[in-house]
């Protein structure tokens, strides 16, 4: 975590969609990139469910149905996959609840559930301000505040320290309550405390950590419950313990518990001598506890609170961790003590707690003679990506005169704006300044229909239009492309892998290929309109539905090298590593082996069209700062073009408010040699009485007349049984037509590839006067059984 002076808070102030009214006592959870908020109060208790998409910067109100719960505040709110559980809370002044509701967020369906009571003892009484924590298939309820009076207008508070366990059924529903027998001294009764659950990596049992709360006076004690032995203890901590507080938030990211805000003692009061009578106020202090070392670290102290570059003091707010980023929304400030004069905050903030992880390997979408279209998997909650390349060609001499560089305009990097992925050529300091400024909304967007969060990061992701067109004699690539789509949702078990592979060295009919590109792919349950012309490489069981890759697909790469030297590479392994050590300092040119890394640029999104890269002047480094990393000022640098028939190595790193993270594993691709045809595109499969009908579109870059096409099928052999990564392909078609019939007899000999989802593998390539170009590889998903393909 960055030092306190280096914390980069971001305020998000421009939204689209219906922004919820400010409130306190609400709760929030995260499902992937969505922050889901329920309840809370401000001039009445809120009963709506609000959702904020952290990627599109958009609020929306899902159309919920079913047993919709009444509005509540200071309730329990946990998330298990895509289901959310709500327990208890205040439903109106003086009247508390002990009802349990379940929301299936994939359908926005509410259901009231009735757990069995404990075998001995009573179920939990109505309460508010309790903690409700999930671990595995169990929720843990501790403490809270009950009303002893039967008259809701005559509130007689009773602080609780009872402890319950709620067992959940898989997917939906609950089993019932139980009252575990615990050992050790039980924490004192309290409400408005926090409880988180953490388990050390590779060792130890899960432990629940209870911090602070209110019991007539604010508390600053820390309690630990071992969930295996059910033993309570008070861990000894190091560092400065945060001030006593209640109505704060506690969030776990990695091995740290982050404590933000809440009610704390007024400065100058002696809380030891008069804890019940002293004044209280809100705070914006920020600390974390290292749960492995039990050491407190103060990131923002009370003396630093008045800065305008961070959230103002508040209590009763919500906090959500999405990846390594913390979001904070609303809450009340407590400086005005008179009745009805509490002011609710309306702001949304976030803070990156650590540098982002390494992205996936760079993947090739399309290659030409002097450019690459590349992509990589998105990293959640980042503000840009630094793409670098390396080549064995000698770099040209570069003038150190800035006037020799073209005068390029900088592009403002907006993490929440979707659209073109512009390179940002000017000073990184410009980028940092723009990123620190408020986010810009996605203009003109609105949500009228209920969203379906079963879709991946972009709920409408689908295949992009063009396949790689690599014409080098020794080149191959993998294609996994995404485009926008408005198709309906389905659960069709169909999937796609499109690859460009060099088949010019494959012997017709019974040849053995030394390589296959396979994928370990998460498939979203989503269909693409079949009339779309941009479904390159998509394969279907019939002509009615087409399922796309998730944006988190893990794709193996085959590298741009002679086919005889290519071997299958495991997912996330370097395509063709030339150095086992990857330099960590992201400057424009960093030595790697005998060569230096050069910046292609910084990109907003996870795709890039690469035709040039930047060179540093000899002996000079014009450096700006982004976070803690050094990055050059691109406006001072000369560019060098890519050249045909040349291999280039790529790596990419993500950028957030903490700086530039580690680089990905290395991929290698080769620019095309002029004259060879590109790969066929828009592959489709449909069943017919003879077997299946396989069709495709001509290459987008034929480089002359297409003389013939060849289609290949991976077949079963003893060699494949011994080594599944070494596929054997038989040519099943050669001719001028852009379609062929694959007979049932041929399919009976097909090899079912289990390197990811079970699939039959086809390859199709085109030939012109110069020879065969790269092939498109497609995988026809077969379900999870081992029956014959057409059964």
Render pLDDT for 714-725 as a digit per residue (tens, 0 to 9). 998 876 666 665
pLDDT digits (tens, 9 = 90+) for 174-215: 999 999 999 999 999 999 999 999 999 877 799 999 999 999
Q: Which residue has the higher pLDDT, 607 or 678?
A: 607
Check: CB of residue 731 under 8 Å from CB of residue 770: no
Domains identified in the chain and CATH numbers: 17-267+278-352 (2.120.10.80), 356-392+597-615+638-673 (2.60.40.10), 684-781 (2.60.40.10)
Whether the per-residue pLDDT at 475 is higher than 70: the answer is no
Two structure tokens written together for 95: 């009247």
Two structure tokens written together for 339: 């009745």
Q: How far apart are CA 647 and CA 636, in angstroms?
A: 27
pLDDT digits (tens, 9 = 90+) for 215-235: 989 999 999 999 999 999 999
Among 682, 779, 756, smallest CA distance to 464 is for: 682
Q: Is 254 left (phi over 0), alpha (psi -120 to 50) or beta?
A: left
Among 477, 507, 516, 535, smallest CA distance to 672 is for: 477
Whether the per-residue pLDDT at 453 is higher than 70: the answer is no
Sheet holding 207-214, edge to edge: 194-198, 207-214, 218-226, 231-233
609 pLDDT tier (thresholds 50, 70, 90) = very high
Q: How far apart are CA 470 and CA 369, in angstroms?
A: 8
pLDDT digits (tens, 9 = 90+) for 654-666: 999 999 999 999 9
464 pLDDT tier (thresholds 50, 70, 90) = very low
**Any bridge partners for residue 194, and if so which?**
211
Whether the per-residue pLDDT at 585 is higher than 90: the answer is no
> Average pLDDT, stretch 301-315?
81
- Lowest-confidence pick of 135-139, 279-283, 447-451, 569-573: 569-573
Whether the per-residue pLDDT at 157 is higher than 90: the answer is yes
Whether the per-residue pLDDT at 257 is higher than 70: the answer is yes
Measured in residues, the chain has a length of 791
pLDDT at residue number 467: 27
Q: How far apart are CA 226 and CA 163, in angstroms?
A: 13
pLDDT at residue number 724: 63
pLDDT at residue number 445: 35
pLDDT at residue number 252: 98
pLDDT digits (tens, 9 = 90+) for 97-109: 999 999 999 999 9
pLDDT at residue number 788: 53
Whether the per-residue pLDDT at 331 is higher than 60: the answer is yes
Stated pTM of the model: 0.67
CB neighbour list of residue 283: distance below 8 Å, 6 or more residues apart:
243, 245, 261, 262, 263, 264, 302, 305, 313, 315
Q: What is the 3-state secondary structure (H, E, C) of 255-318?
A: CEEEEECCEEECCCCCCCCCCCCCCEEEECCEEEEECCCCEEEEEECHHHCCCCCCCCCEECCE
pLDDT digits (tens, 9 = 90+) for 361-394: 888 777 788 899 888 989 989 999 999 999 887 7
Q: How far apart are CA 49 and CA 44, in angstroms?
A: 15
Check: CB of residue 141 under 8 Å from CB of residue 163: yes
Whether the per-residue pLDDT at 285 is higher than 90: the answer is yes
pLDDT at residue number 396: 56
Q: How far apart are CA 345 and CA 631, in angstroms?
A: 37
- Spell 612-626 as b/e; 16+ CB within 10 A means b: bbbbbbeeeebebeb
Q: How far apart are CA 572 and CA 562, in angstroms?
A: 21
- Rounded to an integer, what is the distance from CA 257 to the centroid of its chain? 21
Three-class SS state of 599: strand
pLDDT at residue number 369: 83
Angle, CA 344 vertex, CA 339 and CA 345 arms, to 5°:
155
**Any bridge partners for residue 434, and if so which?**
none
**Any bridge partners for residue 163, and if so which?**
142
> Average pLDDT, stretch 694-704?
90
């Amino acid at each position: 975590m960055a030092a306190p002076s280096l914390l980069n808070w971001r305020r998000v102030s421009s939204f689209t969609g219906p922004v919820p009214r400010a409130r306190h006592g609400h709760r929030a959870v995260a499902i992937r990139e969505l922050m889901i908020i329920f309840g809370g109060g401000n001039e009445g208790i809120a009963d709506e469910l609000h959702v904020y998409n952290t990627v599109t910067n958009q609020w929306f109100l899902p159309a919920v149905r079913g047993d919709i719960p009444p509005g509540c505040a200071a309730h329990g709110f946990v998330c298990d996959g895509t289901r959310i559980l709500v327990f208890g809370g205040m439903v109106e002044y003086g009247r508390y609840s002990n009802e349990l509701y379940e929301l299936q967020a994939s359908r926005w369906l509410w259901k009231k559930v009735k757990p069995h009571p404990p075998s001995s003892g009573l179920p939990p009484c109505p309460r508010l301000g309790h903690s409700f924590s999930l671990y595995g298939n169990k929720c843990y309820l501790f403490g809270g505040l009950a009303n002893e009076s039967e008259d809701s207008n005559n509130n007689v508070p009773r602080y609780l320290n009872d402890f319950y366990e709620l067992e959940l059924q898989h997917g939906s529903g609950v089993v019932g309550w139980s009252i575990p027998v615990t050992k050790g001294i039980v924490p004192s009764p309290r409400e408005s405390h926090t409880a988180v659950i953490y388990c050390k990596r590779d060792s130890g049992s899960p432990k629940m950590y209870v911090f602070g709360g209110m019991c007539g006076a604010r508390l600053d004690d820390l309690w630990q419950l071992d969930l295996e032995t059910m033993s309570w203890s008070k861990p000894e901590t190091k560092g400065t313990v945060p001030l006593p507080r209640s109505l704060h938030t506690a969030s776990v990211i990695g091995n740290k518990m982050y404590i933000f805000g809440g009610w704390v003692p007024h400065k100058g009061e002696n809380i030891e001598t008069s804890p019940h009578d002293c004044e209280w106020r809100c705070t914006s202090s920020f600390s974390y506890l290292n749960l492995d070392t039990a050491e407190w670290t103060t990131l923002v102290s009370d003396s630093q609170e008045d800065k305008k570059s961070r959230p103002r003091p508040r209590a009763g707010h919500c906090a959500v961790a999405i990846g390594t980023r913390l979001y904070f929304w609303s809450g009340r400030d407590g400086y005005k003590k008179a009745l009805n004069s509490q002011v609710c905050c309306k702001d949304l903030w976030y803070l990156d707690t650590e540098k982002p992880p390494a992205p996936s390997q760079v993947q090739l979408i399309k290659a030409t003679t002097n450019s690459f279209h590349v992509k990589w998997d998105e990293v959640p909650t980042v503000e840009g990506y630094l793409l670098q390349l390396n080549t064995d060609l000698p770099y040209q001499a570069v003038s150190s005169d800035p006037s020799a560089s073209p005068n390029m305009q900088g592009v403002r990097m907006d993490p929440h704006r979707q659209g073109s992925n512009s390179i940002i050529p000017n000073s990184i300091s410009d980028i940092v300044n723009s990123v620190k400024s408020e986010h810009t909304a996605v203009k003109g967007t609105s949500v009228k229909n209920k969203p379906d969060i079963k879709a991946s990061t972009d709920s409408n992701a689908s295949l992009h239009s063009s396949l790689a067109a690599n014409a080098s004699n020794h080149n191959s690539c993998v294609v996994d492309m995404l485009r926008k789509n408005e198709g309906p949702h389905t659960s069709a078990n169909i999937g796609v892998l499109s690859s460009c592979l060099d088949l010019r060295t494959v012997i017709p009919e019974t040849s053995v290929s030394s390589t296959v590109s396979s994928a370990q792919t998460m498939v979203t349950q989503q269909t693409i309109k079949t009339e779309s012309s941009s479904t390159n490489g998509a394969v279907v069981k019939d002509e009615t539905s087409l399922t796309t890759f998730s944006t988190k697909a893990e794709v193996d790469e085959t590298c741009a090298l002679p086919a005889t030297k290519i071997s299958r590479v495991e997912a996330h392994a370097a395509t063709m590593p030339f150095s086992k050590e990857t330099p960590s300092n992201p400057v424009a040119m960093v030595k790697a082996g005998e060569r230096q890394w050069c910046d292609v640029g910084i990109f907003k999104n996870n795709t890039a069209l690469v035709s040039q890269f930047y060179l540093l002047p000899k002996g000079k480094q014009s450096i700006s700062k982004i976070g803690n990393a050094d990055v050059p000022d691109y406006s001072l640098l000369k560019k060098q073009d890519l050249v045909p028939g040349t291999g280039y190595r790529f790596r990419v790193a993500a950028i957030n408010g903490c700086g530039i993270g580690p680089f990905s594993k290395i991929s290698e691709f080769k620019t095309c040699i002029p004259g060879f045809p590109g790969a066929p595109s828009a592959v489709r499969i449909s069943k017919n009485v003879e077997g299946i009908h396989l069709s495709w579109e001509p290459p987008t870059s034929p480089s002359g007349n297409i003389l013939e096409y060849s289609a290949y099928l991976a077949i079963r052999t003893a060699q494949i049984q011994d080594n599944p990564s070494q596929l054997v392909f038989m040519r099943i078609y050669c001719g001028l037509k852009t379609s062929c019939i694959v007979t049932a007899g041929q399919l009976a000999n097909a090899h079912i590839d289990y390197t990811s989802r079970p699939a039959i593998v086809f390859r199709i390539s085109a030939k012109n006067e110069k020879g065969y170009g790269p092939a498109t590889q497609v995988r026809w998903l077969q379900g999870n059984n081992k029956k014959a393909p057409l059964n």
